[in-house]
Structures are given as C-alpha cells and as structure tokens.
Amino acid sequence: MGSLTEANLRALAGARSYERALGYLDAVSGVEVGDGWVTASVHGTERYEVELTLDGPGGLAGTCDCPYGLEGNFCKHLVALGLSMLAQRESLPRQRKAARERAQDLDRWLSALSKDELLALLREQIDEDRQVRRRLELRAASVRGDLATLRSGIRDLFDVSSFAQYGYVEYADARAYADQAGQAVSSIRALTGSGRAADAITLAREAMRLLAEAVESVDDSDGRLGRIGAGLAAAHLDACRAARPEPEELARWLAGHALGDLDDGLTDIDPLDYEDVLGEEGMAALRKLAVEAWRGNRRGWAQKYLMERLAKAGGDVDALIAVHAADLAPNGHTHLVIARELDTAQRPGEALRWAERGIRDTQDLAAVDTALVDHLCDRYTQADRLTDALTVRRDHFRARRTLLTYQQLRAAAQAADCWPAEREAALALLRADAERRQQGWYGGPVLIDALLDDKDADAAWQAATHTGAHDRQWVTLADQVRADRPADALGVYLRLAEPLLKQTGNTVYEELVALLLSIRDCHRRLGTPDEFTAYVTALRTAQKRKRNLMRLMNEHGL
C-alpha cells in the first residue's frame, strides 16, 4: 500500500480533480479488494466502474469508465476510491491477504476437480450466463472453422435490437452493448490463431461494416465503439500478415476503405501499415488507385490525404507538392506547407518562391496566414535581405493594424536601421484609426498600446485623453506615469474604482484591492496619507457587508 498516499493521488489527478473528489467520498460503493487491486462503483452523473492498481510497474495507477477516465486521465472517481481506502488503511493489508488466500483456495479447489466435475461446473455457468455461453460458442466455432456459425454469431453481437429503445441505444445501455460487440474481436483473433487467417480477414471486414452500421444507432459518447473498431483493424492486419492475401485485391480493399467507400471513421486503418503484406506489387497497385482517385477529385479530403501519405512514404516530394498545389488555400497556408516541404527536401530556392507566391496570391493581406508572413521574413532575414523583410512587414501592418504587427514592423525596421521614419508613418495610420473608431472600440485604440509598447507614456497619455482609451489601457497608463505624475494617476484609479464598489464577486474584489493599493501609493507620493485614510474608512463603512472584500483588504493592510 506504500504507493497509495494522498500525495500520490493529488499528483496523479491534479489539484482540481483531487478537490472535486472530496465531494464523492459518500458515492463509493461495492468495494472489492484484491491482491494488488481495488474495484468499486462511484455514482456521479452516471454509475462508473473504477479500479485502482496498487502495485503496478509504475506504482499507483487506475482506470475508470467515465468520459474523462476513458481518455486516460486519473479522474476524481479514482481519487474518491483511493481516499476511501486510505480511510481504512489499517485494515487494507488484512483485506489484501484475505483476497490472496481466497484466490489460492479457489485455484486449489479447481485443480482438485476431475474433468467431468470441471465440465459440469462450466456447463452450469453456461446455463446461467448468456455472455459466457456466447463467447464459448464463438470460440468453438473458430476452432472448428465453422464460418457460417461465426458469421451468424458476429452478426448477432452487433445487433442493437436487444439494447435499443425506439431503435436507439441510449448512453446508459451503450457500455453493455459495447461489451457484447467487443467479443467479435477475440473471436476473429481466435480464428487466425487456429490457422484460418483467410476466413478471419473476411469476417473482420464484415464486422467493420456491421460496426459502421451500428454506430449510427448508439450513443457512443465514451468512444467504446471506436476502441472496438481499432481492435478489428488490428485483428485484420494480423490476419493479413498470417494469410498473405493477393496483393492487388488487398490494395483495392485498402484504397476503398481509405477513400471513404468503406471507411467508417472507427477503424483508423493506415494502408502503410500493410506495406510488408502488400510488397512491391501491392504498393504499386495502391499508388495507382490513389492517383486515379485523386485525379478524379483533386479537392477531396480522403483522396488528398491518401496521396500525401503515399508520396511521403515514397519520398516523392514532387508528387506531394502537386497534391497541395491542386487545392491552394486563399490565405496562403498551402503555399507555406509546400515551402516547408521543399525546405525539408533541401530545395530552398523553390521553397522561397512558393512562400513569395503565397503572399502575392493572397488577395487580402489582413486574412493571410501569419505563419507564412513569419516564414518569409525569416528567410529574407537569413539571406540578409532586410529591405525585403521590412516591405513584407510594412504591407502586413497596413493591412492588419494590430499591436503584434506593429511590434513586428518595428523589429524589421530596427534591423534595417530605419525605424524613426517607419514609426511616424505607422503611428499616423493608427491615429487615423483611433479618430474613426473613437466610439465603442472593443479593447481600445491600438495607437495607445503601440505608444505604451514604445515606452512613450506621455504621447500615450495625450492620445488617450484625445481619443479615449479602454480601462485596461488607462490602468497601464496610470502605472507608467504614477512616479512622475501621481495626481493624474490618482484620478484614473479613483474613477476606475467607483463602478467596482457597486459590484460583488471575488474577482471584482481582487481588482478593487489592486486599485486601492495604487491609490495608497499615489497619496503617499503626494504627501496626503490622511486623505487616503479617510477614503478607506468611508469605503469600509459603506462596504462592510462584503466580508470577502473586508478580509482581502485586511490581508493587504488596507
């Protein structure tokens, strides 16, 4: 039990999940302690099944079938079970010992039974448990090579009718359905293991089709059917490696699956995983099919993706570029993708031309992929083409006047040793924007942010006074001028504090206290501490019902 500690639970789950788990301690039920593991049910939005592994290779671990847990996270339900076990830590070693002894007793008893006694016991379980009977029937059919029985059994496994109400399997029943459908994977694997890999290929493909049909009628919010799909894909690949099907036929099936005729989005089959099965002949057929499909629909996502995968795998850069070039995005993103591929292929001249073309082809530079602009400017800078980099940054700034594009223009102009002139032209544009958008500009004029970023507080103050500014900008302005102009800063802080006095909430209180600290500093610089004392006293009297605010002010000595 050494790995089961509060510290380890918090480390695995994170502070948020750990704290939320404290409200679920009474929701833990049905605890079963084994030798090295603990299982239970935890009632949250639904009832979830959780299992803690106490002595795994990596220490404490766990699984839960809640949506968050199914993504591989150590969830609050696992923490709740762990904390419940810690509450009875003194008895846990005894419970684990008892579980170990029970397992040993069971094993000794089973080992002592005769063949007839074991068969009688197994038949009893088969009569009582439909799932056990179905699994064993399919296993027997796999060993016999009874394809008809297997096909019928797998069809039954994917049948939703016994779980569906009004033709649809709701979330509460989806797990039971997935548990049933998942038996198809083990049956197909068993068929391969018994030397019938060719039949396993056939049944795996049929099962994929049945799964694709079933998913339309199942609430698969937890992704269980996706895991079944992945299992079927793995079983299909294993069967193909064992049976070595005809390469061209396999290539046709893989192409059809990848191009959407058969792809259900659940199996995630990658044709390149079959390269060792396909061989040169099959890969050539697959490439031919991919090219034909792409030529028939150059903008189809599936066609493009398959062509890209095959071109990359074959190291065919020109084919890869042709795929991208056939469907160029209007914002230059595809040009950037091509440029990066050419850079990787050590073809920098072509890469640069594609990046330049991306800028030229973009009709609206305000909407251009900014990563393309950065890429091109980086290449110009590396080649000591500073004027060209500046031109691109200037054009981009003029089309998209933000603080970031201003900062990038400044960096390029400073590198080219011409920032003063560029700055005047850029600020003139921002001033014009501020004049036009004086009313209701969300976030405030970019002009103010640019001047503040230039550390030109006086110009920023003057511009804010003339055009107006966002409260966020006024706080930054006041902070920058407070040392030299405390009276001006004080006026800003007092104005911004006033509306907060009418609001509630811890976030509001934190913002208000920050302003009060700034107000106190202004009075200190002005030599008027008594005025601040009177202000705070009046504020406390008016706001005394806001206990969290009073506590926060006390913490800061206000």
Q: What is the pLDDT of residues 188-208, one digit of tens each?
A: 998 898 889 999 999 999 999
pLDDT digits (tens, 9 = 90+) for 125-167: 888 877 777 777 777 777 677 788 888 888 989 999 888 878 8
Structural domains in the chain (count) = 2
Q: Report the C-alpha gap between 265 and 257 in whole angstroms.
A: 10
CB 134 within 8 A of CB 127: no
Last residue of a domain, one of 89, 112, 135: 112
Of the candidates 371, 336, 327, the residue with the CA atom closest to the CA atom of residue 357: 336
DSSP of 235-267: HHHHHHHHH---HHHHHHHHHHHHTTSS--SSS
Tokens at 519, concatenated: 């107000």
Dig out the tokens for 304 from the structure: 């493009």
State the pLDDT at residue 102.
84
What residues have CB less than 8 Å from 417, skipping those under 6 apart? none
Residue 236 lies in a domain: no
Q: Tell whether 517 is covered by a domain.
A: yes
Is there a domain that residue 159 lies in?
no
CA separation for the pair 363, 501 (Å, rounded): 49
pLDDT digits (tens, 9 = 90+) for 7-25: 999 999 998 889 989 989 8
* Two tokens, residue 173: 């029943």
pTM of the model: 0.65
pLDDT-derived band at 439 (thresholds 50, 70, 90) equals very low
- Is residue 223 situated within a structural domain? no
Q: Is residue 14 included in any domain, yes or no? A: yes
pLDDT at position 57 over 80: no
pLDDT value of position 527: 95
pLDDT in tens, 76-124: 999 999 999 998 888 888 888 887 888 888 889 989 989 988 888 888 8
Examine the fold and report which residue of 112, 135, 163 is the final residue of a domain before the chain moves on.
112
Residue 27 located in a structural domain: yes
The verdict on residue 450 lying in a domain is no
| Cβ pair 66, 75 in contact under 8 A | yes
**DSSP assignment string, 99-149:** HHHHHHHHHHHHHHS-HHHHHHHHHHHHHH-HHHHHHHHHHHHHHHT-HHH
Task: Give the pLDDT score at 264.
Answer: 59
Of the three residues 90, 112, 134, the one that is the final residue of a domain is: 112
Domain coverage including residue 543:
482-558
The answer on pLDDT for 44 being more than 90 is no
Is 553 contained in some domain?
yes
